[in-house]
Structure 1
Amino acid sequence: MPQWITVINPATLEPVGRIPEGNESIVNAAIDAATKAFPEWAATPAKERARLLKAAAQRMMEDIERIARILTSEQGKPLVEARGEVTIAADYLEWSGEEAKRIYGEIIPASTRRKRLQVIRQPVGVVGAITPWNFPASMVTRKIGPALAAGCTVVLKPASATPLTAAALFDIFHEVGFPPGTVNLVTGNARMIANQFLNNQAVRKVSFTGSTQVGRSLITGAAGQIKKLSLELGGHAPFLVFDDADVDKAVEGVIASKYRNAGQTCICANRLYVQSGIADVFEDKLIAAVRSLRVGNGLEPDIEVGPLIDEASRNHVVRQVEDAIARGGRVVAGGSVPSIDLPGAFYTPTLIANVPDDALLTKEETFGPLIGIRRFDTEEEALRLANDTEYGLAAYAYTKDFGRITRVSEALEYGIVGINDPVPTVVQAPFGGVKESGWGREGGWQGMDAYLETKFVSISY
């Protein structure tokens, strides 16, 4: 008898569906299907690969409301955010389709008359992709889109907490006519599936989005076959507000960056540093904005902050709040479970002032609707505080000074920097981190490189 995984709505704790819990034989069958499909798909003209990707994108947008409701039901984010995610997920497919037609090689000037030197770019092969629960639509297409565009075949494992969105997308891939074996969905135990990806020699590359801890284990597991990896790992983003910033826009920026998806994004603001000259005014306005956020079931109208994905995630936030208070921090907004008639893992949007540098909130990724605020005096101090972490995914700064914009952008040790921009992610730009926040990039033309091999051909005649 097949085993099943029940999918739970994190707002109501009610079942919203179920998926089969695959075993090793099912995963290997999917890898075998991708392996058999690869030669034909790799030889398929780029124009045809592009047509299918763009057809899938169009079909997603035609069905946006249904997919968004599935997404909110299993993940919890407000429906307006879910619609936005489905839109960017479709954009990743469309962009990748266009880029499929621009995988260029080059001719190199030869050193003799009787040689021709050229460089060609070819698909890596079968790709094993593992996606997280916080963006169950866009993380799928950000990996699948460029892989398919490059001519790779894919086996994808979505998060067990949010697999129904991926299943809806795979129905569309089937509907628009992707050849059998080109794109495959497997569900079940993450460790087992990751090990199958790492140990099966037919899988030439693994692409993973998730925690730095799991990323380290994948690096170790990939060493035996020197398997290619793309890793988008944890973040601990600083948000710098300088004296010359537009205070109102900076407050709006913190709200957009930190409390979107209940703070469960890898690039959301995690540490807030405000220059002393505007700190009092900024803090008063931010407190009012945080307190005004509406918490509840994401399927209800006008909700701005949904639940955390589960009770363990809420407990992590509670632990950071208690630790910050014990070290001298002061809760100025939120800091408790909201009084709403819902059983899910909700937590009030929270702001803590006077957070010391040794607090867990300052050292750890939060992944919840909580941020601490600390004051600084000089630009040099702000940059020192911002860079004092092993993470390097995203950072933010608000300032009107062009010279400072240049200095800060170059000095911040992060793969993504938003200047007066709290939501910098776009399909046409590279996404990824430095230091312990990952390897490689997704999005933009750079995202195609992860799925292509560069081959040099020297022809003598």
Structure 2
Amino acid sequence: MFAKQPYIDGKLVDAGEVFEVINPATEAPVGTIVLANADAALAALDAADKAFPMWANMPASERVKWMHKLRDAVIEHEDHLRTCVHLEMGKPWAATKDDYDMLVDSLNFYADEIMAIKGEELKDKEGTHTHMLTREPIGVVAAFLAWNFPLLNLAYKLGPAMASGCPIIIKPSMQTPLSAYAVGELCAKIGLPAGVVNIISGHNREIGDLISASTIPAMLTLIGSTQTGLHVMKAGSTSIKRYSMELGGNAPVLVFADADLDLAADTVVALKYGNSGQICVAPNRVFVAAEVAEAFTQKIVERAKATKVGFGKDQDIDMGPVIDEGSWKRIDGLVQDAIANGATLLAGGGRPEGQDIGSFYAPTVLSNVTDDMRVCREEVFGPVINLMQFTDEADVLDIANNTDAGLTAYIFTQDQDRADSFAARLRFGEIQINGVKYAINLPHCGIKQSGIGVDCSHLALDEYLAPKRVSRAIIK
């Protein structure tokens, strides 16, 4: 079992309540962490605040050297970091590489991006002044992370914060804190300047609200639910702050009659059963043209039944458990509600055969789903594919847009004009056509109630940097 500590002000801190981390696949403890209490949270805020002048004024080239040192330590400890994710989530071993790779990619990408930023000279209409536009770090950042991708979510915040010169307080979920705490161990190992990075986990009401309400952070950034985002913004209203939030989704998939059905089925299944459906961009509502609905449904059901569920490092496993029993019950409640209201269960539902221990939910397919069912109105965040038919393109566009969420939408068609037309009219921050692609250099963003601001790409740096104009009168 791992035993890990918070990382505050350049040191690993040993005092505090000890909390057991449970593997949702085995229901057994896999490690302990020392939880941060209110005093620890205040110490982290103070450390970050004191570090800001030093870190902000350090030449970007020197900050980049520290980022490279941390990257090298991450690479050296790949197996340990991936093992932490594997155990705290019950995630298939192969899938832990996505988490790990994003951390390396983020440190590399933002180290390069910050060096490419230059000042911009602005023209003066009257010729009486010179004007230089620069960007500088906004201040201390506090980041609240969801449990579904423990290292990937951390990477989204750590890279741009370190590069921009913003000290950061990272609060991972209490359900998956081991890998984040392991990053704190690496920060301590390389001797990162004190206060630049602080990693603490604890009860939301004890330390989350305290951090949000503090006037020290210049920005609160979050990966989580829309409800959590609203709560953080309310708690943070003690001072003027920036907010950068990636929140809940309700992604539609539009499969037109001319679509490559195998490609569409492979993509939907990979997104919906990968990470056990616990992905903010996972398809939540799959609309299929009526003339190909039977064929597409058959392909989805075949793939669902072939999905291998389990836990283990050396096994060929496609899908692990959902995060805990509470999540299992919530997902099952949505499935049972849909069936009670007329949906047809084609595959899965409940526990997979042979999995009596752990919070495993079978890869599930529902047909005859209607848009007014809870399973379509709420984010499932589990391995459930909801199939609906459509005959009218204008109607399906309206239904797809009929949600407060606005994160991701998917289109499958061979008609480029149709793809372009729907991409322009779908009210979502990301439109994926005939496939899916995510990478550190591509902006990840939502609209409506799915968030504010951007993760990934050069645009994310804008969240951490403030524009500054220096105007100088020309003396003649």
Q: How high is the TM-score relative to the length of structure 1? A: 0.97
Inter-partner Cα distance in structure 1 for 2:471 and 2:389: 60
2:215 aligns to what? 201
Inter-partner Cα distance in structure 1 for 2:187 and 2:34: 19
2:407 aligns to what? 393
Which amino acid letter does the alignment assign opposite residue 388 of structure 2?
R
Per-residue deviation, residues 265-292 of structure 1 (Å, max 9, x unmatched): 1111111111112111111111111111
Report the CA distance between 1:404 and its aligned residue: 1.3
Report the CA distance between 1:416 and its aligned residue: 1.2
What secondary structure, in the 3-state scheme, does the structure 2 residue paired with 1:258 have? helix
What secondary structure, in the 3-state scheme, does the structure 1 residue paired with 2:49 have? helix
What secondary structure, in the 3-state scheme, does the structure 1 residue paired with 2:319 have? coil
Report the CA distance between 1:105 and its aligned residue: 2.6
Which amino acid letter does the alignment assign opposite residue 443 of structure 1?
C
Quick one: structure 1 residues 201 and 181, their matched pair in 2 at CA, closer, same or farther if it must change by over 3 Å?
Answer: same
**Match of residue 371, structure 2, among 357, 367, 370:** 357
**Match of residue 101, structure 1, among 115, 119, 138:** 115
1:436 aligns to what? 449
**Match of residue 82, structure 1, among 86, 96, 101:** 96
What secondary structure, in the 3-state scheme, does the structure 2 residue paired with 1:125 have? coil
Q: Equivalent residues in 2 for 1:22-421 (5 A)?
A: 22-421=36-435
Per-residue deviation, residues 164-205 of structure 1 (Å, max 9, x unmatched): 000112222233342111101112112332222222222111
Per-residue deviation, residues 30-63 of structure 1 (Å, max 9, x unmatched): 1111111111111111112222223322332332
Report the CA distance between 1:366 and its aligned residue: 0.4
Which amino acid letter does the alignment assign opposite residue 88 of structure 1?
M
Inter-partner Cα distance in structure 2 for 1:432 and 1:5: 34
Q: Among the aligned pairs, what percent are the same residue? A: 37
What secondary structure, in the 3-state scheme, does the structure 2 residue paired with 1:254 have? helix
**Match of residue 453, structure 1, among 451, 466, 472:** 466
Which amino acid letter does the alignment assign opposite residue 208 of structure 2?
A
Inter-partner Cα distance in structure 2 for 1:169 and 1:342: 34
Q: Is the 8 A contact 1:61 1:87 kept in 2?
A: no
What secondary structure, in the 3-state scheme, does the structure 2 residue paired with 1:245 have? coil
Inter-partner Cα distance in structure 1 for 2:312 and 2:327: 18
What secondary structure, in the 3-state scheme, does the structure 2 residue paired with 1:207 have? strand
Per-residue deviation, residues 85-128 of structure 1 (Å, max 9, x unmatched): 21122111111111111233311111333311121111011111
Inter-partner Cα distance in structure 1 for 2:238 and 2:39: 22
Per-residue deviation, residues 118-158 of structure 1 (Å, max 9, x unmatched): 21111011111111110000100110110111110011110
Gaps of 5+ in 2: 1-14
Report the CA distance between 1:400 and its aligned residue: 1.3
Inter-partner Cα distance in structure 2 for 1:434 and 1:117: 34
Per-residue deviation, residues 341-377 of structure 1 (Å, max 9, x unmatched): 4521111000000002211111000011112100011
Inter-partner Cα distance in structure 2 for 1:420 and 1:85: 24
Inter-partner Cα distance in structure 1 for 2:303 and 2:186: 40
Quick one: structure 1 residues 196 and 103, their matched pair in 2 at CA, closer, same or farther if it must change by over 3 Å?
Answer: farther
Inter-partner Cα distance in structure 2 for 1:396 and 1:168: 36
What secondary structure, in the 3-state scheme, does the structure 2 residue paired with 1:119 have? strand
Which amino acid letter does the alignment assign opposite residue 343 of structure 2?
G
Inter-partner Cα distance in structure 1 for 2:86 and 2:167: 29
Report the CA distance between 1:300 and its aligned residue: 4.6
What secondary structure, in the 3-state scheme, does the structure 1 residue paired with 2:444 have? coil
Q: Is the 8 A contact 1:298 1:306 kept in 2?
A: no
Q: Single out whichever of 14-23 and 134-143 deviates more from structure 2.
A: 14-23
Which amino acid letter does the alignment assign opposite residue 306 of structure 1?
G
What secondary structure, in the 3-state scheme, does the structure 2 residue paired with 1:347 have? coil
Q: Single out whichever of 445-454 and 108-117 deviates more from structure 2.
A: 108-117
Report the CA distance between 1:218 and its aligned residue: 1.6
Q: Single out whichever of 205-214 and 105-114 deviates more from structure 2.
A: 105-114
Report the CA distance between 1:299 and its aligned residue: 3.0
**Match of residue 10, structure 1, among 11, 17, 24:** 24
Inter-partner Cα distance in structure 1 for 2:254 and 2:312: 30
Inter-partner Cα distance in structure 2 for 1:195 and 1:336: 36
Inter-partner Cα distance in structure 1 for 2:343 and 2:247: 28
Inter-partner Cα distance in structure 1 for 2:207 and 2:126: 51
Inter-partner Cα distance in structure 2 for 1:417 and 1:192: 38
Inter-partner Cα distance in structure 1 for 2:274 and 2:152: 15
Inter-partner Cα distance in structure 1 for 2:256 and 2:312: 34
Inter-partner Cα distance in structure 2 for 1:360 and 1:231: 25
Which amino acid letter does the alignment assign opposite residue 391 of structure 1?
A
Inter-partner Cα distance in structure 2 for 1:180 and 1:45: 17
What secondary structure, in the 3-state scheme, does the structure 1 residue paired with 2:238 have? helix
2:3 aligns to what? none
Report the CA distance between 1:338 and its aligned residue: 1.4
Q: Is the 8 A contact 1:128 1:155 kept in 2?
A: yes
Per-residue deviation, residues 287-345 of structure 1 (Å, max 9, x unmatched): 11111101111435111110010011001111111111111100001112112245211
Q: Is the 8 A contact 2:213 2:237 kept in 1?
A: no
What secondary structure, in the 3-state scheme, does the structure 1 residue paired with 2:156 have? helix
What secondary structure, in the 3-state scheme, does the structure 1 residue paired with 2:333 have? helix
Inter-partner Cα distance in structure 2 for 1:94 and 1:342: 43
Q: Is the 8 A contact 1:361 1:371 kept in 2?
A: no
Which amino acid letter does the alignment assign opposite residue 148 of structure 1?
M
Report the CA distance between 1:378 and its aligned residue: 2.8
What secondary structure, in the 3-state scheme, does the structure 1 residue paired with 2:220 have? strand
Q: Single out whichever of 105-114 and 317-326 deviates more from structure 2.
A: 105-114
Inter-partner Cα distance in structure 2 for 1:396 and 1:87: 25
